């Protein structure tokens, strides 16, 4: 009996001809564009999501692929950037683009685009202004008086900040916002006043269009001019999106006043709509908003030293040469609170794996009141503290040690905001599994928090002795690293040679 032919989930596109042929497919095509020189091939964590959607839709109008940027001419402008980039094509035309492996955002976009294929919505073609073709004089190399110091350039990361009508109409507020931008080392690379109409508001806040507050939002955002700023920081712009969102504070002014009283929204906001300022929530949103407000925007350059440029030019390094050192996985701790663990355990575990996290340790732990108070000592004066303690001690929690590169930051982004998740990030895990005012999933916010929480939760763990035998001694460092990732604390280690007569007592 012949073997059934294996169905390929993602086609591999390795040249221009294959790219052109794939774009000719009917319906929606989703392409994970990646760089060979990064060392990491396409976003493996997304495969589970794609498989689930493929089965759910069971439609020939949904196709997935991966594409090597350096071997496809159409992706020339995407080379030199290691951030994952997902291209969505319909009828051979670009209809959406998402930067970064953000599974909830990618899933939401696929569902939106699939409605077009089924005739439930209209297709809108876009242009990726963030990586639009530039003149030959501006491509690749920056000019230099000394040929030996030639450098290659990449576009800096830029985010969008918007001063809303209530701030623009008040010179004192406007001046204070500009002062805070300067004090935090941000550089303004674009600055324009604009007057929005209802269509503009719908394009800026597409997730609000079908909500009850949309009319009020339109009324406010069209009540006067707004001031749109392009912001970057330092040599590359790295971290500017997160920094600006930290400066403006939580979405709701009342929450901002309680948690970040020095933030812009705490000082000048009056409601969730009239909250003074806006900040791009991701690199994908920043690119979209820059293209919307500044169609001809020229990104400032981030300079790459000649030594790195030479290595990037040759994607296959010499034998034994490590061009880009492998980033080591980071470990974080997350706690699935008792009710969510009882109702949604399997789905949460599945989504964690689909997002590319390794579950290095998994334990059911019934926390004591003392442990909860130690974990949330910084929240003891909050009104909801007693309810938090009651929920956390109501049954067993599912405690997980998760491992991944940049795990702490990535996991917190994946979960969504700790408060108002349903309004601010309806596709996030916290929004989807929420059943009370206390969010369903806790996540450590720093390496220090990870260590502190581990010691509180697992303080009664037993001690054990482990031996790495001779046949595995060459892999000793990897084994030790894996033990640490799994939450084990190594209190002492030593190399010993055993004889036939030596034994442990």
The candidate with the shortest Cα–Cα distance to 387, out of 452, 453, 338, 445, is 338
Q: How many CB atoms lie within 10 A of CB 437?
A: 11
What CATH number has the domain spanning 330-457? 3.30.70.141
- Of all residues in the chain, the percent with pLDDT exceeding 90 is 29
Full 3-state SS string of 250-317:
CCCHHHHHHHCCCCHHHHHCCCCCCCCEEECCCHHHHHHHHHHHCCCCCCCEEEECHHHHHHHHCCCC
Give me the pLDDT at residue 127, please. Answer: 72
Place of tokens 């990030």: 425
Q: How many CB atoms lie within 10 A of CB 176?
A: 15
| Architecture of the 153-302 domain | 2-Layer Sandwich (3.30)
Quick one: average pLDDT of 273-293?
87
Quick one: average pLDDT of 425-429?
85
Residue ranges, comma separated, of all CATH 3.30.70.141 domains in the chain are 153-302, 330-457
Q: How far apart are the first and last CA of the chain?
A: 59
Residue with the bigger pLDDT between 257 and 123: it is 257
CATH 3.40.30.10 fits 10-128, yes or no: yes
Q: What distance in Å separates the CA atoms of residue 239 and residue 406, rounded to the nearest whole number? A: 13
pLDDT averaged over every residue in the chain = 80
- The SS3 of residue 19 is helix
Quick one: average pLDDT of 207-226?
89
Give me the pLDDT at residue 277, please. Answer: 95
pLDDT at 42 over 60: no
Is 87 tagged catalytic?
no
pTM of the model: 0.40
**Chain CA centroid to CA 500, Å:** 54
498 contact partners, CB below 8 Å, separation of at least 6: none
The catalytic residue among 87, 114, 278, 442 is 278
Q: What distance in Å separates the CA atoms of residue 230 and residue 244, rounded to the nearest whole number? A: 11
Give me the pLDDT at residue 129, please. Answer: 52
pLDDT in tens, 60-91: 888 999 998 888 988 888 877 666 788 999 87
Give me the pLDDT at residue 410, please. Answer: 87
- The C-alpha torsion from 479 through 484 and 486 to 487, rounded to 10°, is 150
Q: How many CB atoms lie within 10 A of CB 263?
A: 22
Q: What distance in Å separates the CA atoms of residue 234 and residue 254, rounded to the nearest whole number? A: 32
Residue ranges, comma separated, of all CATH 3.40.30.10 domains in the chain are 10-128
pLDDT in tens, 353-362: 888 888 888 8
**3-state class percentages of the chain: helix first, strand second, coil last, to nearest 5:** 40, 20, 40
Crossing angle of helices 338-354 and 47-57, rounded to 10°: 100
Cβ atoms of 367 and 336 within 8 Å: the answer is no
Give me the pLDDT at residue 98, please. Answer: 84
């Amino acid at each position: 009996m012949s073997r059934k032919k294996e169905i390929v989930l993602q086609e591999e596109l390795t040249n221009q001809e294959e790219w052109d042929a794939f774009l000719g497919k009917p319906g929606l095509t989703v392409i994970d564009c990646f760089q060979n020189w990064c060392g990491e091939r396409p976003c493996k964590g997304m495969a589970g999501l794609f498989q689930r959607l493929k089965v759910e839709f069971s439609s020939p109008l949904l196709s997935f692929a991966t594409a090597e940027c350096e071997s496809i001419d159409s992706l020339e402008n995407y080379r030199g950037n290691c951030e994952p980039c997902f291209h969505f094509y319909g009828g051979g035309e670009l209809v959406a683009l998402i930067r970064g492996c953000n599974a909830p955002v990618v899933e939401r976009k696929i569902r939106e685009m699939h409605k077009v294929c089924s005739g439930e919505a209209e297709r809108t073609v876009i242009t990726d202004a963030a990586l639009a073709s530039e003149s030959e004089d501006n491509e690749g190399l920056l000019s230099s008086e000394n040929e030996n110091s030639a450098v290659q350039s990449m576009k800096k990361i830029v985010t969008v900040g918007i001063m809303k009508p209530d701030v623009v109409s008040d010179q004192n507020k406007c001046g204070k916002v500009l002062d805070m931008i300067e004090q935090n080392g941000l550089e303004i690379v674009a600055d324009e006043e604009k007057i929005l109409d209802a269509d503009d508001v719908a394009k800026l806040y597409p997730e609000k269009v079908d909500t009850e507050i949309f009319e009020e939002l339109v009324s406010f955002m069209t009540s006067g001019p707004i001031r749109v700023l392009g912001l970057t920081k330092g040599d590359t712009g790295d971290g500017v999106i997160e920094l600006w969102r930290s400066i403006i504070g939580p979405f709701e002014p009342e929450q901002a006043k309680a948690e970040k009283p020095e933030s812009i929204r705490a000082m000048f906001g009056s409601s969730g709509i009239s909250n003074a300022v806006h900040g791009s929530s991701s690199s994908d949103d920043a690119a979209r908003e820059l293209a919307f407000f500044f169609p001809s925007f020229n990104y400032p350059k981030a300079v790459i030293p000649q030594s790195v440029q030479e290595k990037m030019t040759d994607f296959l390094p010499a034998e034994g040469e490590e061009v880009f050192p492998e980033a080591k996985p980071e470990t974080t701790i997350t706690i699935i609170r008792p009710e969510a663990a009882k109702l949604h355990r399997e789905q949460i575990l599945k989504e964690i794996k689909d997002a590319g996290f390794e579950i290095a340790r998994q334990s059911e732990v019934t926390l004591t009141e003392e442990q909860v108070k130690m974990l949330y000592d910084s929240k003891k004066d909050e009104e909801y503290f007693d309810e938090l303690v009651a929920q956390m001690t109501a049954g067993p929690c599912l405690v997980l040690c998760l491992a991944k590169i940049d795990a702490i930051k990535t996991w917190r982004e994946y979960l969504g905001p700790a408060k108002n998740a349903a309004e601010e990030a309806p596709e996030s895990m916290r929004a989807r599994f929420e059943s009370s005012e206390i969010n369903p999933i806790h996540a450590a916010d720093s390496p220090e928090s990870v260590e502190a929480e581990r010691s509180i939760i697992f303080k009664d763990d037993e001690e054990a002795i482990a031996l790495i035998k001779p046949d595995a001694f060459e892999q000793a460092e990897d084994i030790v690293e894996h033990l640490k990732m799994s939450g084990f604390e190594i209190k002492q280690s030593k190399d010993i040679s055993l004889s036939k007569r030596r034994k442990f007592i």
